[in-house]
Chains A and B, each alone.
Chain A
Amino acid sequence: DQQVKQNSPSLSVQEGRISILNCDYTNSMFDYFLWYKKYPAEGPTFLISISSIKDKNEDGRFTVFLNKSAKHLSLHIVPSQPGDSAVYFCAASPPYNFNKFYFGSGTKLNVKP
């Protein structure tokens, strides 16, 4: 049962433009969300997180938005750079439990120069 879904397997964006990666979840108990970035032959790398008490968290070029009523979060990358080309996973955890995250299947972002 896929509790976290990333319905776009891939996304292609021109350098300098905005990349928007989407993620939906089904479990309303999830209250902490993260995005990871993964390059080939490497493990996922933590990128940015958001707690359910917030609807936005920003870190440099990366902003995560959370819409709890829609059970939807998105990652915005502005401006996109070729080095951002990677697979992006969103992940969610139940309350007070950072020991088990549920991951989406990933979106492969390609930023074209």
Chain B
Amino acid sequence: DTGVSQNPRHKITKRGQNVTFRCDPISEHNRLYWYRQTLGQGPEFLTYFQNEAQLEKSRLLSDRFSAERPKGSFSTLEIQRTEQGDSAMYLCASSLEKGEAGYTFGSGTRLTVV
């Protein structure tokens, strides 16, 4: 297993466009998380899935954001009508049922909205 994989690594988009990121977790991990990290800050929780069920969403996740995890495998995070404030690193992580051993993070997708 090669760990948590995120694609693309970098995305530059014009304001108002829609973007979609993909995350492939470690295969045996049933929990998947999305975090956002802006410059000079630590990661901020966005949402998490247990298998295919999205169990919690942060209020940071506005109506323009949607995440899915069909069949409990890979996940996608879509941002509609991007704004400059959406520019950030979007991190995906996965873990086993009990995450006290910590998550395994992917390398992230860096989004730049111009």
Contacts and interface: CB of A to CB of B under 8 A. Distances in A.
B100 A103 contact: no
Contact of B55 (A89, A99, A101): A99
B42 A91 contact: yes
B33 to A, nearest CB: 7
B95 A43 contact: no
Contacts of B100: 32, 49, 51, 98
A-side interface size class = 20 to 34
B-side interface size class = 20 to 34
A42 interface: yes
Nearest to B37: A103
Nearest to B91: A43
A36 B35 CA distance: 14
B85 interface: no
A45 interface: yes
Contacts of B102: 34, 36, 46, 49
Given A46-B102, A49-B102, A41 B43 contact: no
Contacts of B93: 43
B37 to A, nearest CB: 8
Nearest to A89: B42
Interface in B79-114: 91, 93, 95, 98-108
20 contacts: A9-B40, A43-B4, A43-B91, A43-B93, A43-B107, A46-B101, A46-B104, A49-B101, A89-B42, A91-B42, A98-B98, A98-B99, A98-B100, A99-B48, A100-B56, A100-B58, A101-B45, A101-B103, A103-B42, A105-B40
